[in-house]
Structure 1
Amino acid sequence: MWRFGLRGRMAASYVLVTATAVLLVEAVIVGLVLIPQANASDLASVLQEQAASDTKVLSLEAARLAAADPGLSAGELLAQATAESGGRTIVGGARPPEPGYAMLEMLVGSDGEIVASSAPGIYPPGGTLDVPLPHRERGGASRTRAGPATWHFSPVIMRSADGFATLGHVYVQAPDDAAPAGLRPEALLSLIVPGVLVLALVVPVGLVFGLLSTRRLTSRVRRLAGVTTAVAAGDFRPRVAVSGADEVSTLEHSFNVMTDRLGAAVEAARLTARTEARQAERGRIARELHDSISQDLFSLSLLAAGMSRAAPEELRGQAEAMERAAARAMREMRALLLELRPVALEDAGLLPALEELCHAYETRLGIKVEAVLAEVALVPLAEHAVLRLVQEALGNAVKHANPATIEVRLSARDDVITVAVSDDGAGFDPEDVSARHGMGLALMRERVTELAGRLDVRSGAAGTTVTATFSTSAVALIPPTLIPPAPIPPAPIPPAPVVRPR
């Protein structure tokens, strides 16, 4: 059905248009030929008009000849006028009869003798008419030697010194049963048959032309339908080849754009599902750590504090070392819980999210965190990377450097965005970081590389500075499928550990 549906209907439309054009041309021909002849179907009026027209011509020619040679007789004037008129009159023998009528015309002298005839076989010159010259009635109908006929006389008049003189008459007759040739069955048939033949020829031509001209269009539509089926089945890789510059090519281009966006939306939905799963897992781990290990570490720190006060002098140093180790472990555990805690970025924006993060580290861990943040315009991909970069840098500083102050800076200059996290804690050798088991710097470097930027780490005795720079124009060129989805709402910050009674 599909194979012949659209193509067959379009080919049928070509045939219909072709047939309609032929029929319209045929109707125009009938209108131009038959209607004027039907309007002239009054035989008497036609004969009168024809006789008057030829009489006028002959009268003018006779007047001109008489002026040139006054000695010519009436018969000589008529004969010469007929010869001089040439093809301007039927009686001259050169002009064809009126179309649609079997018309005869004679020039008759005032004595009734035929001077000239359009039908010499029936009315020879020198003979006489079988219709009397008119006295009052110039037209009528009677039986003639040519059969029943309608006839009309028109006088040939010339001005003379004595007034007007009648040189003769123009006699015109036609059979009583004469009808316009265009209205006769044979005439109608002669008009209809060619139209039918043309129609019989052009219909197959229109059919072939319609099938050939729609072949490429229907094949393009079939390709588009095939790709649409693949996309509907979940495969967003196929694309339609855009060809030409017509409406179908616009549809092909729009379909490709729609498929790209739909694929990106599906991929974003998958990323959202995976991210929500990871965030849920991070929250679960944070709760488990708080409910188990954090409580035990706090209990251990209290026991170590009690032991350091009650232990003998020789054991007091070991008890104090245990207390310090427990406090350090609790500090790192709190930093880990903060690192696992998701931060709401979409609802609050980048700057409020960074301020909340810095405030959480300051209040929960007792470290002074200074935030110098400038308002910048970033795409969601860059905002997400900056937030995670600062979160990772803060966590590394707390766990490894034991700083008293941390400074977080976010600035923009022209097209370059700079993020810097500095601490005054214990430094390390950046060249020897590969020997460590931590993944903090590697993760930060991966995030910055995704933004087509650069990560710079400087560390020494005065502290560590982690600086990331990237270009906003380069970030704008990153495919949208890499843009992370909106994070889930943040989990509540775990409260401070409470000693459970033993």
Structure 2
Amino acid sequence: MAASYVLVTATAVLLVEAVIVALVLIPQSKASDLASVLQEQAGGDTKVLSLEAARLSAADPGLPAGELLELAVEESGGRTIVGGGRPPEPGYAMLELVIGTGGEIVASSALGIYQPGGTLDVPLPGHEGGGASTTRVGPSTWHFSPVLMRSANGFDTLGYVYVQAPDDAAPRGLQSGEALALIVPGALVLALVVPVGLVFGLLSTRRLTSRVRRLAGVTTAVAAGDFRPRVTVSGADEVSTLERSFNVMTDKLGAAVESARLTARTEARQAERGRIARELHDSISQDLFSLSLLAAGMRRAAPQQLRGQADAMERTAARAMREMQALLLELRPVALEDAGLLPALEGLCRAYETRLGVKVEAVLAEVALAPAAEHAVLRLVQEALGNAIKHANPATIEVRLSARGDVTTVAVSDDGAGFDPDDVTARHGMGLTLMRERVTELGGRLDVRSGAGGTTVTATFSAPAPGQSTGTAGPA
């Protein structure tokens, strides 16, 4: 950026130098065309006078040539230099005379030098032409152009338009010495301005350059996939607006990437759960079913002393099949995002009731939960149902979901065989541990009450509003 200051300054100085050179060259080229300018000036005024003379002669054919020429000058209406109306060629000090065929001056634009009635000190050429000589005003360049009028014999010459200009009348450009006197200071100024502009550019852009460099560094980190760095916002200019906008953009981009990662992990986990469920159903469930049929056949065909063992084998196979079915339902993916929490819970309860023959009563109230909290509630109910089926052998299970203020309560009760909540390592340790972890991540509390009349698992937590964070809870 400092170089741009130097470049702009140098360009300005060079433009000034170019203008000086133009002042030297253009007027000199114009001065070399003085003769052609005089010829053009005389030719234009000759045409005007010739037309006026033709008009006057047509109106009065008897006018003599001298009088006709004087009347043509008067009737030109200021359209010629000698008539006093039209100025000479801009930039040239010239005079114009109308000369009769005898050399007498008929009209003059410079009465102080050439009076009408006098004679010209340059001989008449008898035709159009020009030249250079010393006249009353000194060395001059001049040009004659005849005033013609059509007659029976062709064209008659009524007189001449004479245009004269001193040799130094043309605009004089700067001489080489004068131009040099202007160019040299400009070069010195350029030599001084370049280092000054460089220093000024460095001082004035140092802070801006460091800010842009810092922004570029953070941009490189973000482009590499690291969304943690942020730009320090300083000042209140356009760059600070860019810094602030970049931070906002990085926050949103990081959140979007993290959401995509969570979604990918969730989908991968759901796919894995589905794969495990299919393998369990296709292999172990079929084997357990076959074992149950074999045990039933053995019980019917075995001798009396072996029927007890066969009956125990059949009950064990049936219990294993029941637990396997409960496990498959736990692994069953639920489309929470498409259905919503209440339809997902109702569908889960119907699945347990239909496939396992256990009555499941669902008392569900509308609650406003964040997506992560909804998922945690769904998984908690799913695990509580699975534990009840696998370990308690209940006839009825009740699922309740309610809210009072910002406190949400989830309760799963069964009428099966109870257990000692203080000694759950052997049978219920993993399921209760997972449920407790889920509720803890929501900032809530899990209570387990069990006895001879059944078991009740209750989770209580403050419900975050949709869109708010729920801690580190994630889909499982």
Q: TM-score, normalised by structure 1?
A: 0.56
**Partner amino acid, structure 2, of 1:368:** K
- The aligned counterpart of 1:160 is none
Give the Å deviation of 1:455.
Answer: 1.4
Distance 1:272 1:394 in 2: 26
**Partner amino acid, structure 1, of 2:260:** A
Output one character per residue of 1:234-260: Cα deviation in whole Å (capped at 9) or x when no partner: 222322222233332232232223223
Q: Secondary structure in 2 aligned to 1:292?
A: helix
Give the Å deviation of 1:207.
Answer: 5.4
- The aligned counterpart of 2:261 is 270
Give the Å deviation of 1:347.
Answer: 0.9
* Residue 269 of structure 2 corresponds to residue 258 of structure 1: no
* Residue 361 of structure 2 corresponds to residue 366 of structure 1: no
Q: Secondary structure in 2 aligned to 1:346?
A: helix
**Partner amino acid, structure 2, of 1:350:** L
- The aligned counterpart of 2:454 is 463
Deviates more, 1:327-336 or 1:375-384: 375-384
Distance 1:225 1:483 in 2: 34
Output one character per residue of 1:152-209: Cα deviation in whole Å (capped at 9) or x when no partner: xxxxxxxxxxxxxxxxxxxxxxxxxxxxxxxxxxxxxxxxxx9999999888766544
- List aligned pairs for 1:347-426, cutoff 5 A: 347-426=338-417
Give the Å deviation of 1:370.
Answer: 0.8
Aligned CA distance change for structure 1 residues 379 and 474 (closer, same or farther; 3 Å): closer
Distance 1:346 1:355 in 2: 15
Aligned CA distance change for structure 1 residues 242 and 274 (closer, same or farther; 3 Å): same
- The aligned counterpart of 2:299 is 308
Output one character per residue of 1:54-106: Cα deviation in whole Å (capped at 9) or x when no partner: xxxxxxxxxxxxxxxxxxxxxxxxxxxxxxxxxxxxxxxxxxxxxxxxxxxxx
- The aligned counterpart of 1:236 is 227
Distance 2:213 2:470 in 1: 30
**Partner amino acid, structure 1, of 2:233:** V
**Partner amino acid, structure 2, of 1:402:** N
**Partner amino acid, structure 2, of 1:267:** E
From 263, 278, 283, the equivalent of 1:292 is 283
Distance 1:282 1:416 in 2: 31
Output one character per residue of 1:200-239: Cα deviation in whole Å (capped at 9) or x when no partner: 9888766544432221111111111111112112222322
- List aligned pairs for 1:41-440, cutoff 5 A: 208-434=199-425, 436=427, 438-440=429-431
- The aligned counterpart of 1:8 is 3
**Partner amino acid, structure 1, of 2:242:** L
**Partner amino acid, structure 1, of 2:368:** A
Contact 1:18 1:206 (8 Å CA) reproduced: no
Give the Å deviation of 1:298.
Answer: 1.5
- The aligned counterpart of 1:83 is none
Give the Å deviation of 1:286.
Answer: 1.4
**Partner amino acid, structure 1, of 2:433:** A
Q: What is the identity percentage for the equivalent residue pairs of Structure 1 and Structure 2?
A: 84
Deviates more, 1:263-272 or 1:282-291: 263-272
**Partner amino acid, structure 2, of 1:400:** H
Give the Å deviation of 1:323.
Answer: 1.7
Distance 1:12 1:453 in 2: 67
**Partner amino acid, structure 1, of 2:241:** T
Q: Secondary structure in 2 aligned to 1:272?
A: helix
> Unaligned 5+ residue runs, structure 1?
1-5, 24-193, 488-502
Q: TM-score, normalised by structure 2?
A: 0.58
Contact 2:295 2:313 (8 Å CA) reproduced: yes
Q: Secondary structure in 2 aligned to 1:396?
A: helix
Distance 1:8 1:371 in 2: 77
Distance 1:13 1:207 in 2: 9
Contact 2:10 2:193 (8 Å CA) reproduced: no
Distance 1:16 1:415 in 2: 72
Aligned CA distance change for structure 1 residues 206 and 276 (closer, same or farther; 3 Å): same
**Partner amino acid, structure 2, of 1:310:** A
Q: Secondary structure in 1 aligned to 2:336?
A: coil
Q: Secondary structure in 1 aligned to 2:369?
A: coil
Output one character per residue of 1:273-307: Cα deviation in whole Å (capped at 9) or x when no partner: 33333322222221222122211211222222233
Distance 1:465 1:264 in 2: 39
**Partner amino acid, structure 1, of 2:415:** D
Contact 1:7 1:218 (8 Å CA) reproduced: no
Distance 2:406 2:418 in 1: 31
Contact 2:3 2:198 (8 Å CA) reproduced: no
**Partner amino acid, structure 2, of 1:418:** T
Distance 1:429 1:17 in 2: 92
**Partner amino acid, structure 1, of 2:393:** N
Distance 2:472 2:412 in 1: 29
Q: Secondary structure in 2 aligned to 1:430?
A: coil
RMSD of aligned C-alpha atoms?
3.9
> Unaligned 5+ residue runs, structure 2?
17-184
Give the length in aligned residue pairs.
Answer: 322
**Partner amino acid, structure 1, of 2:325:** R
**Partner amino acid, structure 2, of 1:393:** A
Give the Å deviation of 1:308.
Answer: 2.6
Contact 2:6 2:194 (8 Å CA) reproduced: no
**Partner amino acid, structure 2, of 1:338:** L
Distance 1:410 1:479 in 2: 19
